[in-house]
């Protein structure tokens, strides 16, 4: 008999597989009938960085928040693929020598190590642009207003007031532009990592044209999940197993970064995660049993070991 935990793991795996298939189709050469294989180097680079792995947590949030409102799975997977394109582009650009200068990601060479910086910059630009091609497609929803709301929400989550702005604050906090600038960790991470995760959670409400109260509930849930995700990340950097993580630990301390752990201490950070999980559970109560998978997702995110 499957337990709730194995059921959750199966759903997560199935979504990852489906997302992989959708992305592979979106990034296939048939996308470019006229150009034939000419920008092949670009397509290869985009495929290298967006196919072949990852938990696909962001698409999973889109798919499961959509399931609450019985949004067709195919539409949710497309929206999830657009969100994943944004996530993948951000990793490519963040890994560049001018940014975090990372050589490895998920145990493989980062794109600029595998190819070169120019190719990596363009592949990131290409994925970011492709996301907005995907998110506007007719298959997402028959009502153009819904697709527009979703498109704008994605642009906001990814932009100056979201991910890009958060990354800038993060670099400033490391002292990259002179003196270290003071960091409001909660604010910074709400932008840098939280905004895209939150988008995944509200995407279902937008596609499902939910009542305002239910939208608000997913918004609250998404904010709590986003912060819990980041605190778990900060805790793993201090306590995690480098082998399981597939990356070095202790990086934050080496950079002298302000994190949730440096601000709250380990015990305080753990307590904060518990509080956030309670907030996420409470936000989901409005959905009854239909919120079970999202509830499990928050716990999965907060308690993950890698």
Q: Which residues bind a copy of itself (CB under 8 A)?
A: 31-32, 34-35, 38-39, 41-43, 46, 89, 93, 96, 98-99, 115-119, 121-122, 124-126, 128-130, 132-133, 136-137, 143-145, 147-148, 151-152, 154-156, 158-161, 164-165, 167-169, 171-172, 176-177, 184, 187, 191
Question: The tokens of 289 are what?
Answer: 């049993």
* Shortest Cβ 306–a copy of itself spacing (Å): 27
State the DSSP code for 191.
I
Taking the C-alpha atoms of residue 1 and residue 65, their distance in angstroms, rounded to an integer, is 26
Taking the C-alpha atoms of residue 65 and residue 92, their distance in angstroms, rounded to an integer, is 27
Task: Please identify, using beta-carbon distances, which residue of 123 and 296 lies nearer to a copy of itself.
Answer: 123
Task: Please identify, using beta-carbon distances, which residue of 177 and 268 lies nearer to a copy of itself.
Answer: 177
Alpha helices in 110-241 (DSSP H): 111-114, 117-135, 144-158, 163-173, 185-189, 195-207, 212-239
* Shortest Cβ 120–a copy of itself spacing (Å): 8
* Shortest Cβ 148–a copy of itself spacing (Å): 5
Assess contact for 204 and 65: CB atoms under 8 A: yes
* Shortest Cβ 165–a copy of itself spacing (Å): 4
Taking the C-alpha atoms of residue 285 and residue 217, their distance in angstroms, rounded to an integer, is 9
Task: Please identify, using beta-carbon distances, which residue of 168 and 238 lies nearer to a copy of itself.
Answer: 168
* Shortest Cβ 153–a copy of itself spacing (Å): 10
Task: Please identify, using beta-carbon distances, which residue of 3 and 30 lies nearer to a copy of itself.
Answer: 30
* Shortest Cβ 94–a copy of itself spacing (Å): 9
CA distances from 275 to 4, 45, 62, 225, 238 (A): 22, 41, 24, 11, 20
Task: Please identify, using beta-carbon distances, which residue of 121 and 238 lies nearer to a copy of itself.
Answer: 121
Instruction: Please identify which residue in the block is written with the tokens 């840098």.
Output: 192
Query: End-to-end CA distance of the chain, in Å?
Result: 27
CA distances from 267 to 47, 154, 158, 263 (A): 41, 34, 32, 11
* Shortest Cβ 271–a copy of itself spacing (Å): 26
Task: Please identify, using beta-carbon distances, which residue of 159 and 265 lies nearer to a copy of itself.
Answer: 159
Task: Please identify, using beta-carbon distances, which residue of 64 and 170 lies nearer to a copy of itself.
Answer: 170
Element (H, E) at 109: strand 108-109
């Amino acid at each position: 008999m499957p337990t709730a935990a194995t059921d959750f793991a199966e759903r997560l795996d199935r979504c990852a597989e489906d997302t992989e298939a959708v992305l592979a189709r979106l990034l296939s050469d048939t996308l470019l009938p006229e150009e034939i294989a000419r920008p092949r180097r670009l397509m290869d680079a985009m495929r290298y960085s967006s196919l072949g792995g990852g938990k696909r947590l962001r698409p999973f949030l889109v798919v499961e928040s959509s399931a609450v409102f019985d949004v067709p799975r195919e539409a949710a997977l497309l929206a999830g693929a657009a969100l994943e394109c944004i996530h993948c582009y951000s990793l490519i650009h963040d890994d560049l020598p001018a940014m975090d200068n990372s050589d490895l990601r998920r145990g493989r060479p980062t794109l600029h190590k595998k190819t070169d910086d120019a190719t990596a910059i363009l592949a990131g630009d290409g994925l970011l642009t492709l996301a907005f091609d995907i998110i506007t497609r007719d298959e997402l929803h028959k009502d153009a207003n819904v697709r527009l709301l979703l498109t704008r929400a994605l642009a906001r989550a990814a932009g100056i007031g979201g991910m890009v702005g958060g990354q800038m604050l993060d670099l400033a906090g490391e002292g990259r532009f002179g003196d270290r600038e003071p960091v409001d960790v909660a604010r910074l991470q709400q932008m840098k990592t939280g905004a895209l995760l939150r988008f995944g959670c509200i995407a279902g409400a937008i596609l499902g044209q939910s009542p305002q109260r239910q939208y608000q509930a997913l918004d609250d849930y998404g904010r709590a999940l986003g912060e819990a995700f980041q605190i778990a990340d900060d805790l793993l950097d201090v306590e995690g197993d480098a082998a399981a993580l597939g990356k070095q630990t202790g990086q934050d301390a080496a950079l002298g970064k302000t994190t949730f752990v440096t601000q709250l201490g380990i015990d305080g950070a753990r307590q904060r995660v518990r509080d956030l999980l309670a907030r996420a559970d409470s936000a989901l109560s409005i959905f009854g049993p239909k919120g079970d998978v999202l509830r499990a997702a928050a716990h999965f995110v907060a308690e993950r070991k890698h």
